[in-house]
Amino acid sequence: MRIETPVTRLLGIDLPIVQAGMSWASSGSALPLAVSRAGGLGVIAAGPMRLPDLDRAITEVEAGTDRPYAVNLPLYRKGAEEVMDLLCARRVPVLIASQGGPKRYLERFKDAGTLCLHVVAGEEHAVKAVGAGVDGLIVVGAEAGGHPPAGLVSTLVMVRAVARQAAGTPIIASGGFADGEGLAAALALGAGAAQFGTRFLLSEESNLHPAYKDAVLAAGVGDTRTVGHQIGLIRLLANEFADRMAELERTAAELELRRTEFAASTLRMAAFEGDVVRGKVEAGQSAGLIDSILPAEVIVRRIAEEYAATLGRMPAVRRD
């Protein structure tokens, strides 16, 4: 099956399905390789990876498929310059950059022949990124796990706003998508693809501790929280850590105390060690739409099939 959009044409993929770069969940080759083989865009999460491990993951993906893949790089991570040196030397097909400005990396990656997608969570940053010369945008709305926009503007509104401001730029919508109906909605908003995070987090290939997967699988649509206001907003499942942070924010505790409490819990605690009580169990609201852990290839295929079925159910226009 092929679904052609401006994003699939830009990236050379068959389906407008992008697997989010989710720190520990895709910090390896298994998940991105499976997604790229299935016709979507698999993404290696460079954020928590050491350089030798990242280099090995790239080698494994390239050995396993000739389809495009991407590497996601949070620009604030320690050693980001060394990571960029490696990615340019390896001439990765697609870079997805976040948490920083595009001028820092564009020239060197353009020279390497790498397509550059920039993650934005607002109109102003989107316009600046397009002006700087990025090849496309990933537009994140409030429903997203991890780092939603500070203003918590929904994906529905955010994607439309950016699509109007950045007309002609390929856009990937992110936040709240779990199935083919969501993909149809993203394309209707003016995006050329949807990015799926939590759905692929609950794949067989994701690197997360089983306790993390079980907690997300059991969650409903109302079981996430946003904490870290004024520090670094994240969306995660409600647990002991989230409740403690929410109470500190509700009572307007001193910022330094909130910073200390926020730093005492980490994503690694939950994702790697399985501490889903005190760790940061980052997940999107779409967790409540997911009821199974499946192979990534099956997830991609189902999303495409559901998209086709959704189009078949849409009412036709009548001009009486």
pLDDT band at 289 (very low <50, low <70, confident <90, very high): very high
What is the pTM for the complete model shown?
Answer: 0.96
Provide the pLDDT for residue 175: 98
Q: What is the mean pLDDT of the segment spanning 63-91?
A: 96
pLDDT band at 320 (very low <50, low <70, confident <90, very high): confident
pLDDT above 90: residue 201: yes
Q: What is the mean pLDDT of the segment spanning 249-276?
A: 95
- Do the strands 42-45 and 17-19 form a parallel or antiparallel pair, or are they unpaired? unpaired
End-to-end CA distance of the chain: 34
pLDDT in tens, 233-262: 999 999 999 999 999 999 999 999 999 999
Alpha-carbon span 172 to 24, nearest angstrom: 22
The whole-chain average pLDDT of the chain stands at 96
Provide the pLDDT for residue 135: 98
pLDDT above 90: residue 141: yes
Alpha-carbon span 140 to 121, nearest angstrom: 5
pLDDT band at 49 (very low <50, low <70, confident <90, very high): very high
Contact call for residues 168 and 190 (beta carbons, < 8 A)? no
Q: What is the mean pLDDT of the segment spanning 227-231?
A: 94
Provide the pLDDT for residue 24: 86
pLDDT in tens, 205-215: 999 999 999 99
% of the chain residues with pLDDT over 70:
100
Tell the residue number behind the tokens 């499942």, with chain if given. 237
pLDDT in tens, 145-169: 999 999 999 999 999 999 999 999 9
50 — phi, psi (to 5°)? Answer: -75, 155
Residue 98 Rama label (left phi>0; alpha psi -120 to 50; beta): beta
For the CA atoms of 306, 310, 312, 317, the dihedral, rounded to the nearest 10 degrees, stands at: -160
Contact call for residues 191 and 167 (beta carbons, < 8 A)? no
Q: What is the mean pLDDT of the segment spanning 98-108?
A: 92
